[in-house]
Chains A and B, each alone.
Chain A
């Protein structure tokens, strides 16, 4: 079974600064997807960024980028130029690339609560 670990329960960043959220995972599969989801206090889970394991290039979405280290099974999220609206719970998630059975199941980490201060 796959596991996802987020070792930082809480993080704080000043507005306009950069913060990195950590995530490690464990799997025996070679093909999979990794995601970062954001859950603001309103509770709606939003996809921030995704990474396909077979792609060596790190994914980037505007101010959000990842550092994907497949051998180390590490998948960190970097938020640049932090904004007050970035304050939320951030979840790292894993999904198998197998096309049958558990393909759509997301396995989540425990989350990191990000505070953004002025």
Chain B
């Protein structure tokens, strides 16, 4: 079974631009969570989607948004990029949203904002 895939793997943008990252969960997984990883702040939860609905959102500004499609693929968008948005963005999928399921992580997208 294929793992979680994230595209692109690397991305370079300039301040003020917007960016869209994609995550394809493991086949059959319906829950997708996004995390931001930076040296200064560590791993922080962005949001979670289940059945095309945002179930949970972390403490990030409204410039960070996401969505999930009917095939469970998810995208996250960051508008008006700032230097501080440079990070590794990790996506994790779960078979069923809830407590008894492991989160499987993708390789991440490395975003650099210049």
Q: How many residues of A contact B (CB 8 A)?
A: 26
Given known contacts A45-B90, A110-B42, A102 and B108 CB-to-CB distance under 8 angstroms: no
A19 within 8 A of B: no
Q: Which residues of A contact B63 (CB under 8 A)?
A: none
Interface residues of A in 69-113 (CB under 8 A from B): 91, 95-99, 101-111
Q: Which residues of A contact B105 (CB under 8 A)?
A: 37, 44-46
Interface residues of B in 77-105 (CB under 8 A from A): 88, 90, 92, 94, 97-99, 102-105
* 8 Å CB contact of A47 from B42, B56, B58, B102: B102
* 8 Å CB contact of A105 from B42, B45, B98: B45
Chain A min CB distance to B30 (Å): 11
Output the residue of B31, B42, B99, B107 with the most chain A CB within 10 A.
B99
B55 within 8 A of A: yes
Q: Which residues of A contact B92 (CB under 8 A)?
A: 45, 106
B11 within 8 A of A: no
Q: How many A-B residue pairs have CB under 8 A?
A: 62
Chain B min CB distance to A63 (Å): 19
Interface residues of A in 36-64 (CB under 8 A from B): 37, 42-47, 50
Q: How many residues of B contact A (CB 8 A)?
A: 26
Interface residues of B in 45-67 (CB under 8 A from A): 45, 48, 50, 55-56, 58
Interface of A is mostly: loop
Alpha-carbon distance A95/B103, docked complex (angstroms): 11
Q: Which residues of A contact B24 (CB under 8 A)?
A: none
Given known contacts A43-B108, A45-B90, A104 and B97 CB-to-CB distance under 8 angstroms: yes
Output the residue of A95, A96, A104 with the most chain B CB within 10 A.
A104
B43 within 8 A of A: yes
Q: Nearest residue in A to B101 (C-beta to C-beta)?
A: A104
Contact pattern, A 8-44, Cβ under 8 Å of B = 1, otherwise 0: 0000000000000000000000000100010000111
Q: List 5 other contacts, CB 8 Å, given A33-B99, A47-B104, A91-B43.
A: A43-B88, A43-B108, A103-B98, A104-B97, A105-B48
